[in-house]
């Protein structure tokens, strides 16, 4: 198994640890987190440093997974992504063995595909994305860079989700709609029409609240 280091030790990290372990492809050698977390453990994996110490672990470990969560903003995940790349590290795609990803789909670097996700033919998933448990990405849908598609959400066929979006749990995005970048869709919402302006949206029918 290849060694891998996780970056970020919160709740999302706990879920990611299970996915990484289940793949059987990587051995987690530790977690990078905040300085005050040094020496603490997350599911028996020690915090061994901070994100500013990436170079210290190269080249002995060149693979990293960003395990910082994302709700309101993807900024922290984007910063870490670029730090890893600048340091010469790799951000592999991690796919749960309990997920289905069509061989005709494309998933870019640093994305994690959690348990029981379905990614159908022709779908494109950008860099640094989280496809959370039981989410569905239908045929020819496009998810931009640094998006979090939350649990049991559905992105229907040929829909486009722009960069740095958060799609809340159990949200349905209708086919052929376009959600502009930097948009937050609250849990349980329905997106029936394209969203042209970034902000926070909620409900059925959908309305902008910020």
How confident is the model over 94-103, as pLDDT tens digits? 999 999 999 9
Cα angle 137-114-185, degrees, rounded to a multiple of 5: 55
> How many Å apart are CA 58 and CA 45, to the nearest integer?
19
pLDDT digits (tens, 9 = 90+) for 116-170: 999 999 999 999 999 999 999 999 999 999 999 999 999 999 999 999 999 999 9
What is the residue whose two structure tokens read 């990484």? 20
2 falls in which pLDDT band (50, 70, 90)? very high
Q: In the structure encoding, which two tokens stand for residue 172, read together?
A: 């349905």
pLDDT digits (tens, 9 = 90+) for 23-39: 999 999 999 999 999 98
Q: Do 13 and 38 contact (CB within 8 A), yes or no? A: no
> How many Å apart are CA 139 and CA 175, to the nearest integer?
10
DSSP calls for 155-191: E-TT-EE-TT-EE-TT-EE-TT-EEPSSEEE-TT-EE
Beta-carbon-side half-sphere exposure of residue 170 (alpha carbons within 13 Å): 5
DSSP calls for 39-70: T-EETTEEEEE-GGGGGGGTTT--EEEE----
pTM: 0.95
What is the residue whose two structure tokens read 């870019």? 108
pLDDT digits (tens, 9 = 90+) for 42-74: 999 999 999 899 999 998 999 999 999 888 899
Q: In the structure encoding, which two tokens stand for residue 60, read together?
A: 């002995």
Is the per-residue pLDDT at 192 higher than 90? yes
Residue 10's pLDDT is 85
Residue 71's pLDDT is 86
DSSP secondary structure letter of residue 146? T
pLDDT digits (tens, 9 = 90+) for 78-96: 999 999 999 999 999 999 9
Residue 7's pLDDT is 97
> How many Å apart are CA 175 and CA 154, to the nearest integer?
10
């Amino acid at each position: 198994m290849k060694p891998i280091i996780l970056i970020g030790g919160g709740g999302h990290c706990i879920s990611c640890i299970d996915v990484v372990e289940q793949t059987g492809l990587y051995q987690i050698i530790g977690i990078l987190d905040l300085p005050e977390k040094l020496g603490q453990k997350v599911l028996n994996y020690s915090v061994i440093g901070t994100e500013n110490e990436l170079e210290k672990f190269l080249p002995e470990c060149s693979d990293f997974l960003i395990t910082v969560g994302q709700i309101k903003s993807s900024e922290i995940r984007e910063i870490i992504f670029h730090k890893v790349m600048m340091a010469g590290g790799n951000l592999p795609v991690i796919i749960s063995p309990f997920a289905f990803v069509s061989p005709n789909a494309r998933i870019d670097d640093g994305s994690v595909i959690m348990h029981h996700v379905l990614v159908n033919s022709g779908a494109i998933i950008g860099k640094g994305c989280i496809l959370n448990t039981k989410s569905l990405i239908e045929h020819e849908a496009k998810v931009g860079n640094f998006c979090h598609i939350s649990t049991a959400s559905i992105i229907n066929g040929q829909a486009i989700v722009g960069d740095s979006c958060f799609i809340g749990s159990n949200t349905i995005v209708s086919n052929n709609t376009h959600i502009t970048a930097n948009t937050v869709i609250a849990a349980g919402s329905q997106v029936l029409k394209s969203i042209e302006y970034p902000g926070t949206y909620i409900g059925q029918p959908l309305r902008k609240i910020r």
